[in-house]
Amino acid sequence: MLSEVEGQVLAAIDDDRIVDELRELVRIPSVDGTAAEADVQAWCARRLTDLGLTVDHWRIDLPAVTADPEFPGMEVTRDQAWGCVGVLGGDGTPGLILNGHVDVVPPGDLSLWPDGDPFSARVEDGVMWGRGTCDMKGGVAAILGAVAAIAAAGVRLRKPLAVHTVIGEEDGGAGAFATLRRGHTGEACLIAEPTAGCVIPANSGSLTFRLEVPGLATHGSTRTRGVSAIEKFVVIQSALQALEAERNRDPHPLLAHLDLANPLSVGTIHAGDWASTVPDVLIAEGRYGVRLGEPVAAARAALESAVAEACAKDDWLRDHPVKVTWPGGAFASGVLPADDPLLTDTLEAAGDPTPEVRGAPYGSDLRQYAAAGIPTLQYGPGDVRYAHATDEHVRLDEVLHAARTYALLAVRRCG
């Protein structure tokens, strides 16, 4: 049963404005590492200011942030980065943070997009198409719609409501890291990532690994005088497959619905520089899942140990071991504490049918807020299957439902 205030807030939600703002956000091509990351943060700062929030819009000190021993890493080069936090009402620590990242991954081959423009924000049959619609500007637009409704209804919040828009989530989480380091905190956090109708209180982590497999070059016609780095990678690949099987034998209950809870995937391989030369080095890079509750250091040690054991059993690799390094972002796992009321509050705000509760096998900023002692979960419009894809899209009814859920949750958590 809705209270009078809750009914007033829901009645103030402006569906058309939410769709229009999502369209504006998508048309800002805020690919990681581009100037448009700054443009989209400036857009968010203006919008939050217009809504009457107290806004902190600052240029992130990249040298200082990246020098922090706990910095989660970046996979693109940035010459600037901006943070944006808006706070509405109340005094003291915010009762709730609504978080959304505004960076997007590159669109890839433009010819593969249905209309040739990944940032067109085309709407057809209640669906908006384009890069960032699902991951995760649909969620950001829903957050803004919820906050706008609370402001329009004239609700006086007992505790502050905070909005965090962040960059760099896709390549490590620089924006959330800088936001938390700046002192922006809260009693709880909801991240509006696409969850396909589920509530996600736990994320596995992920790491990027790099393998340098040595060989011995010689002419292809006398290949037995040399050692092919490609053939030696086969030895290592077999060990990686065995490691993946071992790490998936007993998945966490929140990940038991997945066919592979902790995937290990080789994404790129580069070897050789001449067709008739036996390659003397192979470079492979891949993505490695971190199990729920597993320290990043322990996950790295498991892969390094598996590679070392495989090398020790091979006549060539025993004396010429594979070099393992860890470039790029480091996504630890993150879990909402058991019995934290944020889960029940979110399920009740979402209404009927009650969403399923599941874990997710990918990294996100959830782990950074959780590590800072802020209970955090994910619930948002869209399906992650379409994130990063050339058919990326979000159903507008899901965006509007998310806005109503966030508005109710905010009123109830902030009083």
Catalytic residues, by residue number, are: 103, 170
Helix (H) or strand (E) holding 230: helix 229-247
Helix axes 15-26, 396-414, angle to 10 degrees: 110
The DSSP 8-state label assigned to residue 104 in this structure reads B
Joined tokens for residue 375: 């209970």
* 288 Cβ contact partners less than 8 Å away, ≥ 6 residues apart: 206, 207, 208, 209, 264, 299, 303
On whether the CB atoms of residues 137 and 101 are closer than 8 A, the answer is no
Residue corresponding to tokens 């890493």: 73
Joined tokens for residue 9: 């807030």
On whether the CB atoms of residues 325 and 68 are closer than 8 A, the answer is no
On whether the CB atoms of residues 168 and 175 are closer than 8 A, the answer is yes
Q: How many residues does the chain have?
A: 415
Joined tokens for residue 104: 């997007």
CB atoms within 10 A of CB 315: 8
Residue corresponding to tokens 């969620």: 139
The DSSP 8-state label assigned to residue 68 in this structure reads S
What are the φ/ψ torsions at residue 211 (nearest 5 degrees)? Answer: -115, 130
| CA atoms lying within 13 Å on the CB side of residue 25 | 33
The four Cα atoms 249, 195, 349, 372 give a dihedral, to 10 degrees, of: 70
Residue corresponding to tokens 């769709």: 19
